[in-house]
């Protein structure tokens, strides 16, 4: 589901890298096999954690720069909890039009909010 690294200090003040892999329980052995095969580690620690996710869907907005996917998430009660344009879509359009990523992101959010405000049943 996700992978990230962090620089850490190890014993004897040696520098090291902490590799964190987040996966579904049924994929632990597969992920461990990849880690042992692709790194120099001799051991792996793992813990199980609980995860709560919001209901979400991908919507698409058409902007003057192009189409951008927007992830919309709802709380259990139905209220919108978060709206985020897809990073890759914004980055692609920013590069294509030679403008800052932040401007494309802002345009996507503004466009989405305008469409949501004008949607039937919205106030």
- What's the per-residue H, E or C state across the chain? CEEEEEEEECHHHCEEEEEEEECCHHHHHHHHHHHHHHCCCCCCCCCCCCCCCCEEEEEEEECCCCEEEEEEEECCCCCEEEEEECHHHHHHHHHHHCCCHHHHHHHHHHHHHHHHHHCCCCC
Q: Which pLDDT belongs to residue 49?
A: 93
Pull the structure tokens for residue 36.
Answer: 């042992």
| Domain spans of the chain, in order of start | 2-38, 55-118
Per-chain mean pLDDT for the chain: 94
pLDDT in tens, 5-26: 999 999 999 999 999 999 999 9
The angle that helices 101-118 and 87-97 make with each other, rounded to 10 degrees, is 120
Sheet holding 67-74, edge to edge: 55-62, 67-74, 80-85
Task: Write down the CATH number for the domain with range 55-118.
Answer: 3.10.20.300
Q: Which pLDDT belongs to residue 121?
A: 63
Q: Which pLDDT belongs to residue 123?
A: 44
């Amino acid at each position: 589901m996700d992978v990230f690294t962090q620089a850490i200090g190890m014993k004897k003040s040696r520098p090291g890298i902490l590799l964190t892999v987040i996966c579904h329980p049924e994929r632990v052995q597969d992920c461990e096999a990849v880690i042992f095969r692709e790194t120099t580690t001799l051991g792996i620690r793992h813990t199980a954690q609980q995860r709560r996710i919001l209901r979400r869907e991908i919507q698409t907005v058409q902007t003057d720069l192009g189409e951008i996917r927007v992830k919309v998430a709802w709380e259990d009660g139905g209220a919108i909890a978060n709206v985020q344009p897809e990073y890759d879509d914004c980055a692609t359009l920013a590069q294509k039009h030679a403008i800052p990523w932040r401007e494309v992101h802002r345009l996507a959010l503004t466009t989405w909010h305008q469409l949501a405000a004008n949607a039937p049943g919205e106030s």
